[in-house]
Amino acid sequence: MKLWKNIWTELNKNRPCLIYSDFYFNNWNDLVIIPIKWNNKLKYNKKIHIFLSKKEYNFLYKDSLIDLKWIRQISKKRIWKKIWILDKNILEKIDNKIIKIFWIKKEKK
């Protein structure tokens, strides 16, 4: 499989991403990331997107979407710099949507 180039609608170019890796992954040379997208034609799909408002998050240039359909693994060498940390509320939304997307069963406590 040729995984190094984008094909059709796959994401390319430099873009902000959410690093979605726990301590276990951070010991490796790879990270799991979720891209953050923005453009004039934001098509919000509540099943796979999480909306980030520019007003609420002052580090954003525009209203943005965390796009869960593009979760992927990348090398740590691709990361330029850490800019911000998202609050726990957003991370919980991401967790819940990933559980639904991948049909993961929650552990009973």
What are the φ and ψ backbone dihedral angles of 96, each rounded to 5 degrees? -65, -40
- Domain membership of residue 82 (yes or no) is yes
7 within some domain: no
Tokens of residue 61, six digits:
């240039």
User: Residue 84's domain spans which residues?
Assistant: 17-101
Does residue 49 fall inside a structural domain?
A: yes
Q: Contact, 90 vs 46, CB < 8 A?
A: no
What mean pLDDT do residues 30-44 have? 80
What pLDDT is stored for residue 30 in this prediction? 83
CATH number at residue 27: 2.30.30.110
Answer yes or no: are the C-beta atoms of 49 and 38 closer than 8 Å: no
- What are the E-state strand segments in the chain? 17-19, 30-37, 49-52, 64-67, 72-75
Provide the domain count of the chain. 1
- Report residue 42's pLDDT band, with 50, 70 and 90 as the boundaries: low
Please give the pLDDT value at position 2: 44
- pTM of the entire structure? 0.77
